[in-house]
Amino acid sequence: MVELSQNEIRVLQALVESGGPATIEEIAKRTRLADSAVARAILNLSESNLVREQVERKTELTLTGEGQSFANDGLPERRIVSVVIKSGGRLNLGNALRQAGLDEKYASIVTGWISRKHWGKIEKAESDLQVAVDAEPAKDEDEDVLARLAVANAVLEELPSNLRGAVQRLVKRNLVTARARNDRTIEITPAGQEAANSNEAEREVNSLTGEMITSGNWERIKLRSYNVSSPVPQTFPGKYHPYLRFLRKVKGKLVALGFRETVGPLVETAFINCDCLYMPQDHPAREIHDLYYLKTPSSASLEQYGDLVEKVAETHENGWKTGSTGWRYKFSMNESSKLVLRSHGTALSVRTMISKNLQVPGKYFAIARCFRPDMLDKTHLTEFNQAEGIVLDSSLNLRNLLGILEMFAKEVAGAERVRFKPDYFPFTEPSVELQAYREGVGWMEFGGSGIFRPEVTGPLGVKVPVLAWGLGIDRLYMMSRKIQDIRQLFSPDLEWIREQTVS
């Protein structure tokens, strides 16, 4: 004999009393158990072949807002026909719509359905269409369905067969919505009937009560047993997105190394984004194919930066006091005030260096969201993240910078080999590109770095060497998780997200 719990016995007895199949809601009402308790009992009883579950697919019909309106006031074609009949059997379409209280957008709808239902004729007049109707047509199936649904929702499979075609028409007209649902009913099997009637089914309890303990009955009762190996529904608790968790990890590592985080706006002036970084105003990287320029507003005032604007302008034109000859062109304030979406995290380095809170020596970083109109492929996005950082100290040199870059590649991305390639940026000299290799991923470029030129630090009032880097942190994550396509990082694929483990 199968051992049954108290709840399972109550479910079997409820099915016996119902005299036939019953829904979970009906069983819960009879047993006074929660729906979840009934569902667990049914699952166990099904595994023991004491009950069987039947699932019947139904289609629930409800009126839309427009459908409810037409159920109350009549279908547009019915209202037009009624108006035409009252006007003698013939009326211009425009007049008919006005008298029926319908918008002109219903003109094609009513003419189409009047013709299709053979309720009348649509004839061409000089400047309008005319509707001709001989007699008031009888109520049709569409109106019958609307009238039924106006009283209560209905099930398609339970409607008379002659109305099902009308339902399909009304669904296409967006007057009725059809939603599939599964109706579950539970039926007791002969074995279940025998178990319900058997006196051998021992009463079990789920938990001890105070009365059981004080009376001593707890020694004689049987507690419900639990099968810890039985399958349970898989659950997916809330957690950080795997890439967001990686970004938090990188931030934590940098903070632990003594770096301070900086933040700034996504929309920058060209002055901060480009000019302060000694990028000439005719540089190719400042064309519309490399920067997103705002349309409205298109520019912003530079008054808040005071004489810094003049210093930067002079540096571009003749080198100011930096010992440089500058770019030798006429600096444009109009170009400098243009608004752009931040194209690189180095703009935050500028904001850090002009801040009154700047500390020297000091170490600063940012995880910066950047925007460039690049072609989408497996290593490029139009929106991407950069790990941006600067270190200021009088004793710094290129070797210190290379050590920082190697730490990023190996400790953050899990790279096995690192190499440095000479590069060029208008704002750093020397300039270095970081590349790293990992088995299964290959060589990958992470970004640029260097030591800021005097043309950058001089106007900003910084008098010590500044190491700077801007690395594609999206690519660092790709290497750490051996992801081949950068678009996977922002995929809405829940299965992929759930499979990602904590690194």
In this prediction, residue 200 carries a pLDDT of: 46
pLDDT of 199 above 70: no
- Residue pair 15/51 in contact (Cβ under 8 Å)? The answer is yes
Diameter of the chain measured on Cα atoms: 104
Other CB atoms within a 10 A radius of the CB of residue 163 amount to 16
pTM of full prediction above 0.75:
no
Q: Which amino acid is at 299?
A: S
CATH annotation of 1-54+155-233: 1.10.10.10
In this prediction, residue 224 carries a pLDDT of: 67
The confidence band for 297, taking pLDDT boundaries of 50, 70 and 90, is very high
pLDDT of 202 above 60: no
Q: How far apart are the first and last CA of the chain?
A: 50
The confidence band for 462, taking pLDDT boundaries of 50, 70 and 90, is very high
C-alpha span between 100 and 91 (Å, rounded): 12
Region for residue 11 given its phi and psi (left: phi exceeds 0; alpha: psi -120 to 50; beta: otherwise): alpha
Domains 1-54+155-233 and 65-138 share a fold: yes
Q: Read off the DSSP letter of residue 412.
A: I
In this prediction, residue 503 carries a pLDDT of: 56
Region for residue 189 given its phi and psi (left: phi exceeds 0; alpha: psi -120 to 50; beta: otherwise): beta
Handedness of CA 184, 190, 191, 197 (dihedral sign): positive
Q: 193: which residues sit within 8 A by CB, 6+ positions away?
A: 16
**Per-residue pLDDT tens for 167-179?**
999 999 999 999 8
C-alpha span between 467 and 472 (Å, rounded): 17
Query: Higher-confidence residue: 494 or 75?
Result: 75
Please report, for the chain, the start and end positions of each structural domain, with discontinuous segments joined by +. Answer: 1-54+155-233, 65-138, 245-499
**Per-residue pLDDT tens for 318-370?**
999 999 999 999 999 999 999 999 999 999 999 999 999 999 999 999 999 99
C-alpha span between 247 and 285 (Å, rounded): 28
pLDDT of 492 above 90: no
Query: Higher-confidence residue: 236 or 45?
Result: 45
The rounded mean pLDDT for the chain is 87
Q: Which amino acid is at 450?
A: G
Q: 245-499: which CATH topology? A: BirA Bifunctional Protein; domain 2 (3.30.930)
**Highest mean pLDDT range out of 122-126, 378-382, 438-442?**
438-442
In this prediction, residue 268 carries a pLDDT of: 95
Average pLDDT over residues 148-160: 89
Helix (H) or strand (E) holding 418: strand 417-425
**Per-residue pLDDT tens for 229-271?**
766 777 777 778 888 888 898 898 889 888 999 999 999 999 9
Query: Higher-confidence residue: 490 or 276?
Result: 276
- Residue pair 416/430 in contact (Cβ under 8 Å)? The answer is no
Query: Higher-confidence residue: 305 or 411?
Result: 305
The confidence band for 299, taking pLDDT boundaries of 50, 70 and 90, is very high
Average pLDDT over residues 431-446: 88
In this prediction, residue 64 carries a pLDDT of: 92
Minimum mean pLDDT range among 27-31, 133-137, 267-271, 286-290: 286-290
CA-closest candidate to residue 461, choices 360, 317, 348: 360
- Give the whole-number percent of the chain exceeding pLDDT 70: 95
The confidence band for 380, taking pLDDT boundaries of 50, 70 and 90, is confident
The confidence band for 294, taking pLDDT boundaries of 50, 70 and 90, is very high
CATH 1.10.10.10 fits 65-138, yes or no: yes
